[in-house]
Amino acid sequence: MKKIILIALLFTTVTLFAKDTSPYYSTPHHKIFEKFLGKWDVIYANKTDKGMPTGGRGEAESELELGKTVLKIESKLGFDLGEINLYFIIGYDKNLSRYYFLSYDNSGETPALFWGEYIAESKLFEFKTYDKYPSEGDIRLEIKLEREDKFTVKSYIRTSGEDKVSTDMAYIKK
C-alpha cells in the first residue's frame, strides 16, 4: 500500500511539474528570469529629439510564461499624451544559443527585436541591433540586475561614434 501511495504521489508531482514547465525549459538559461519576477515601481527618463530629458513614473508586473521559458514585463507609464502600455519579452533561443528581447507598446511605433547575451559576472543582459560593427543610429540595450530589489533598463543610440543613453529606466520592487 505504501508503494502505491508513493507512486501516486510521485506521478502527481511529476504531472504538476510538467504542466508548469515546458519541455524546452533550460535551467541555466531560463532560471535567470526568476530574478526579475514581481511587481515594480518604475522611474524613467527619455531624451527628446532636442536632447532635453523627459520622464515620469509608472508601475510594472513581470511573470514567466510559456512553461517558464519567457519573461514578460508589462509596464504602465504616464506620458504627457497619456498612458503607455509597454511590454518586454525576454526569451532564449536554444537553436541560436542567444537571448532575444522583444519590445512593443500602444504608441503606434514598430516593435523592436534585439539579440544578445546574459553576462553572469555583471548580472547584465546586453542586446544589440548590430553584431560586430556598430554604425550611426544603431541601438544597444542593457538590462541589469542592480540588486535583489532593483533592475535597470537602458537604451543607447550610436551617435557620432559614441553610444549615448536615450532611455533610462529603474524598476524598484514593491
Tell me whether residue 114 is in a domain: yes
pLDDT score recorded for residue 49:
63
pLDDT score recorded for residue 26:
76
Tell me whether residue 71 is in a domain: yes
For the cut 60, the answer to whether the pLDDT of residue 161 exceeds it is yes
- The arithmetic mean of pLDDT across residues 151-159, rounded, is 92
For the cut 50, the answer to whether the pLDDT of residue 12 exceeds it is no
DSSP assignment of 120-171 equals GGGTEEEEES-SS---TT-EEEEEEEEETTEEEEEEEEEETTEEEEEEEEEE
Average pLDDT over all residues of the chain: 83
- What's the number of domains the chain is made of? 1
pLDDT score recorded for residue 9:
35
For the cut 50, the answer to whether the pLDDT of residue 156 exceeds it is yes
Domain containing residue 124: 26-173
CATH code of the domain in which 98 resides: 2.40.128.20
Tell me whether residue 68 is in a domain: yes
Q: pTM higher than 0.95 for the full model?
A: no
Q: Give the model confidence (pLDDT) of 48-61 as tens digits.
A: 666 666 788 999 99
Coil, strand or helix at 83: strand
What confidence category does residue 15 fall into, taking pLDDT thresholds of 50, 70 and 90? very low
Tell me whether residue 20 is in a domain: no
Tell me whether residue 9 is in a domain: no
pLDDT score recorded for residue 52:
63
Tell me whether residue 56 is in a domain: yes
Tell me whether residue 79 is in a domain: yes
Residue with cell 535597470: 152
Tell me whether residue 6 is in a domain: no
Q: Give the model confidence (pLDDT) of 87-114 as tens digits.
A: 999 999 988 999 999 999 888 777 889 9
Neighbours of 112 (CB within 10 A): 16
